[in-house]
Amino acid sequence: MNNRKNRVCPVEISDSLDSKLRRWIQNPRKILSPYIKKGMTVLDLGCGPGFFTIDIAKMVGKSGRVIASDLQEGMLQKLRDKIRGTELEEYIILHKSEEDKIAVLGNVDFILLFYMVHEVPSQEAFFNELITILKPNGQVFMIEPPFHVSKKDFENTIKIANTAGFKVTGKPKSLFDKSVIFEKDQNGGISD
Ligand X SMILES: C[S@@+](CC[C@H](N)C(=O)[O-])C[C@H]1O[C@@H](n2cnc3c(N)ncnc32)[C@H](O)[C@@H]1O
Contact of 109 with 138, CB cutoff 8 Å: yes
DSSP 58-87: HHH-TTSEEEEEES-HHHHHHHHHHHTTSG
Candidate residues 51, 141, 166, 182; the one interacting with ligand X per rule CB under 6 A? 51
For position 15 contacting ligand X by CB under 6 A, the verdict is no
115 is a contact residue toward ligand X (CB under 6 A): yes
Q: Cα–Cα distances in Å, from 149 out to 53, 106, 155? A: 23, 29, 10
Size of the site for ligand X (CB under 6 A): 20
- Do 132 and 15 meet the contact criterion of CB atoms below 8 Å apart? no
Least CB distance to ligand X at residue 46 (A): 3
Q: What is the contact mask toward ligand X in residues 60 to 79, using x (rule: CB under 6 A)?
A: ---------xxxx--x----
> What DSSP element (H or E) covers 108?
strand 108-114
Residue from 81, 87, 90, 99 binding ligand X (CB under 6 A)? 99
Q: Which residues bind ligand X (CB under 6 A)?
A: 8-9, 17, 45-48, 51, 69-72, 75, 97, 99, 114-116, 119-120
